[in-house]
Copies of this chain bind each other. A is one copy, B any other.
């Protein structure tokens, strides 16, 4: 098959790769209906996260099951499935508690920008739909695999509830879907921090009631203005940088909640500053598998349309252009069709 490899900063190649095979009896092989480029792929693409060797790319996927290992019980050939970027057994005590992304058997997916994909722990990782879904819902089902599930976790970990005021820091696909998630969870006011017109528009469409384009002290002052001077109940940090993390913490009221869902790069939190902020802080790799059945249902019943974050669709062999478009912020998120 053909698959995507990153050789070094901005050096994406689509090239011949060995076909994946069943290596453990709990594996499944999928023929992908769609895959995509993630904001987190840009860290190594930009050389900020360093690679030691050429590395296969991609961790978002949905598709049709081609083959299953002999210990796979619930997933069957021919089914349409969506899985999380973190494979999990869904039976260990950590999974049972809803933290499948920290499963004791966790494996991070990393070869999904390809036509075929091996998924470990298939019974635990994959969720099948009853029927093959209509083509037009594929982008939204693909979104559930990571960015929707991660945005949902951002809103959930930030304790968004009916009537609360939520702020979303970051206008990438995850931030935009944290807006959609906060709306679904009943937030009364949703403030999106964005200085990019197309993204502001989509944020409003997903449920943002206010847009704040300022950053740093000015951005915090604007949030305080909008929240009776005390800060927001719930703030979702959807970037992973020092500035955005401090923006989030300083925009939250004492006793409020900050979530962070992007891998932090170069973030250091000062203990004393955190102490006096008196916030709740929760984050990590999103336990997408916890939410997948509900999210798939919301998509299939057309209650949400998270697929709108894909503003660029390319054939898989043009994956390098997908990276370029996202790196240059010409696209929010690039969907790739094998």
Residues of A within 8 A of B (CB): 93-94, 97-99, 101-102, 104, 228-230, 240, 242, 245, 253-255, 260, 263-272, 274-285, 287
| Cross-chain contact A269 with B269 (CB below 8 angstroms) | yes
CB distance A254 to B99 under 8 Å? yes
Of B97, B272, B284, the residue contacting A277 (CB under 8 A) is B284
Chain B residue numbers with a CB within 8 Å of A245 are: 271
Complex formed: what's the CA distance from A70 to B53 in Å?
75
**A284-B254 CB under 8 A given contacts A263-B275, A267-B272, A272-B265:** yes
Contact A272:B280 (CB < 8 A) given known A93-B230, A98-B255, A104-B230: no
Q: B271–A268 contact, CB under 8 A?
A: yes
A-B pairs with lowest CB-CB distance, top 3: A267-B271, A264-B271, A278-B284
Q: Among B94, B263, B275, which residue has its beta carbon within 8 angstroms of that of A264?
A: B275
Residue pair B94, A253 in contact (C-beta under 8 Å): yes
Query: Please, which residue of chain B has its CB at the minimum distance from the CB of A228?
Result: B93
| Nearest B residue to A272, CB-CB | B264
A148 → chain B closest CB, angstroms: 19
A271–B266 alpha-carbon span in the complex (Å)? 7
Besides A263-B272, A268-B270, A280-B280, 11 other CB < 8 A contacts? A94-B254, A102-B254, A102-B278, A254-B284, A260-B271, A265-B271, A267-B272, A269-B269, A274-B283, A278-B285, A280-B281
Contact between chains at A278 and B99 (CB < 8 Å): yes
When distances are taken between beta carbons in the complex, the residues of chain B under 8 Å from A287 are 255
Find chain B residues with CB under 8 A from A260 CB. Answer: 271, 275
The residue in chain B whose Cβ has the minimal distance to the Cβ of A253 is: B94
Partner of A255, one of B97, B228, B229, B267: B97
Per the bound structure, the CA–CA distance linking A271 and B268 in Å amounts to 6
Q: Give Cα A212 to B276, complex, Å.
A: 30
Which residues in B have their C-beta under 8 angstroms from that of A253?
A: 94, 97
Question: Could you pull out 22 A-B pairs where Cβ atoms are within 8 angstroms?
Answer: A93-B228, A93-B230, A98-B255, A99-B254, A102-B276, A245-B271, A254-B284, A260-B271, A264-B272, A264-B275, A267-B272, A268-B269, A269-B269, A269-B274, A274-B281, A274-B283, A275-B283, A276-B285, A278-B284, A279-B284, A280-B280, A281-B281
Distance from A275 Cβ to chain B, minimum over Cβ atoms (Å)? 5
Q: Which residue of B lies closest to A269 (CB)?
A: B269
Q: Are A282 and B279 in contact (CB under 8 A)?
A: yes
On whether A230 and B94 interact (CB within 8 A), knowing A268-B270, A275-B283, the answer reads yes
